[in-house]
Protein backbone atom coordinates (compact mmCIF):
# COMPACT_ATOMS: atom_id res chain seq x y z
CA UNK A 1 0.00 0.00 0.00
CA UNK A 2 1.10 3.54 -0.77
CA UNK A 3 -0.11 6.81 0.65
CA UNK A 4 -1.67 9.38 -1.67
CA UNK A 5 1.07 11.82 -0.75
CA UNK A 6 3.78 9.45 -1.97
CA UNK A 7 2.36 9.11 -5.50
CA UNK A 8 1.29 12.70 -6.25
CA UNK A 9 3.47 15.79 -6.67
CA UNK A 10 1.94 17.89 -3.91
CA UNK A 11 -1.07 18.21 -1.63
CA UNK A 12 -1.85 21.59 -0.09
CA UNK A 13 -4.81 23.05 1.77
CA UNK A 14 -5.70 26.62 2.68
CA UNK A 15 -8.57 28.87 3.66
CA UNK A 16 -10.74 30.09 0.82
CA UNK A 17 -12.22 32.81 3.00
CA UNK A 18 -13.20 32.26 6.66
CA UNK A 19 -15.84 29.61 5.94
CA UNK A 20 -14.27 27.19 3.45
CA UNK A 21 -11.03 25.19 3.28
CA UNK A 22 -9.84 24.20 -0.17
CA UNK A 23 -7.52 21.26 -0.81
CA UNK A 24 -5.47 21.00 -4.03
CA UNK A 25 -4.01 17.66 -5.09
CA UNK A 26 -1.43 18.11 -7.84
CA UNK A 27 -1.23 14.64 -9.46
CA UNK A 28 1.37 15.49 -12.14
CA UNK A 29 1.08 12.15 -14.01
CA UNK A 30 -2.04 11.21 -15.99
CA UNK A 31 -2.45 7.66 -14.60
CA UNK A 32 -2.17 8.99 -11.05
CA UNK A 33 -4.70 11.75 -11.84
CA UNK A 34 -7.13 9.16 -13.21
CA UNK A 35 -6.72 6.95 -10.15
CA UNK A 36 -7.17 9.80 -7.66
CA UNK A 37 -10.24 11.11 -9.53
CA UNK A 38 -11.89 7.71 -9.26
CA UNK A 39 -10.89 7.11 -5.65
CA UNK A 40 -11.87 10.48 -4.17
CA UNK A 41 -15.64 10.56 -4.37
CA UNK A 42 -17.73 12.81 -2.13
CA UNK A 43 -19.12 9.74 -0.34
CA UNK A 44 -15.65 8.46 0.46
CA UNK A 45 -14.40 11.89 1.56
CA UNK A 46 -17.36 12.69 3.82
CA UNK A 47 -16.42 9.64 5.82
CA UNK A 48 -12.68 10.14 5.71
CA UNK A 49 -12.71 13.84 6.57
CA UNK A 50 -15.53 13.39 9.08
CA UNK A 51 -17.61 16.24 7.65
CA UNK A 52 -21.36 16.52 7.12
CA UNK A 53 -22.93 15.59 3.79
CA UNK A 54 -23.60 18.44 1.42
CA UNK A 55 -20.66 20.48 2.72
CA UNK A 56 -18.18 19.56 -0.02
CA UNK A 57 -17.50 20.15 -3.71
CA UNK A 58 -14.97 18.31 -5.84
CA UNK A 59 -13.50 19.82 -9.01
CA UNK A 60 -11.33 18.20 -11.66
CA UNK A 61 -8.86 20.59 -13.29
CA UNK A 62 -7.72 18.53 -16.27
CA UNK A 63 -5.05 20.85 -17.68
CA UNK A 64 -3.20 20.88 -14.35
CA UNK A 65 -4.12 17.30 -13.39
CA UNK A 66 -5.45 18.66 -10.13
CA UNK A 67 -8.24 17.32 -7.98
CA UNK A 68 -9.61 20.15 -5.88
CA UNK A 69 -11.78 19.61 -2.82
CA UNK A 70 -13.57 22.56 -1.21
CA UNK A 71 -15.16 21.83 2.12
CA UNK A 72 -17.19 24.01 4.46
CA UNK A 73 -15.38 24.56 7.73
CA UNK A 74 -16.93 22.79 10.69
CA UNK A 75 -15.83 25.74 12.83
CA UNK A 76 -15.54 29.19 11.28
CA UNK A 77 -11.94 30.34 10.99
CA UNK A 78 -10.67 31.65 14.33
CA UNK A 79 -13.89 30.93 16.23
CA UNK A 80 -13.53 29.48 19.73
CA UNK A 81 -13.34 25.81 18.76
CA UNK A 82 -11.28 26.25 15.58
CA UNK A 83 -7.90 24.53 15.84
CA UNK A 84 -6.19 25.67 12.65
CA UNK A 85 -6.68 29.31 11.67
CA UNK A 86 -5.16 28.91 8.19
CA UNK A 87 -6.49 25.44 7.40
CA UNK A 88 -3.19 24.35 5.92
CA UNK A 89 -2.72 21.24 8.09
CA UNK A 90 -5.85 19.51 6.79
CA UNK A 91 -3.89 18.54 3.66
CA UNK A 92 -2.07 15.91 5.75
CA UNK A 93 -5.25 13.88 6.19
CA UNK A 94 -5.55 13.58 2.41
CA UNK A 95 -1.84 12.99 1.96
CA UNK A 96 -1.85 10.07 4.41
CA UNK A 97 -4.77 8.29 2.71
CA UNK A 98 -3.81 4.80 1.55
CA UNK A 99 -4.77 4.56 -2.08
CA UNK A 100 -3.05 1.60 -3.68
Site string for another protein, 79-98 (x = CB under 8 A): xxx-xxxx--xx-xx--x--
Interaction between residue 44 and another protein (CB under 8 A):
no
Burial class, 52, CB count within 10 angstroms (exposed 0-12 / middle 13-18 / buried 19+): exposed
Residues touching another protein: how many (CB under 8 A)?
40
Backbone φ, ψ for residue 28 (5° rounding): 70, -60
Interaction between residue 64 and another protein (CB under 8 A):
yes
> In 24-65, where does DSSP find H-type helix?
30-39, 42-49
Picking from 11, 68, 15, the residue whose alpha carbon sits closest to that of residue 37 is 68
* Contacts to another protein by CB under 8 A: 14-20, 22, 24, 26, 48-51, 55, 57, 59, 61, 63-64, 66, 68, 70, 72-73, 76-81, 83-86, 89-90, 92-93, 96
Amino acid sequence: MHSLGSIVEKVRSKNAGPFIITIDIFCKREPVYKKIKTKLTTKFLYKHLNVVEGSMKIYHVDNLKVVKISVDRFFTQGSRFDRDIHGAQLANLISELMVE
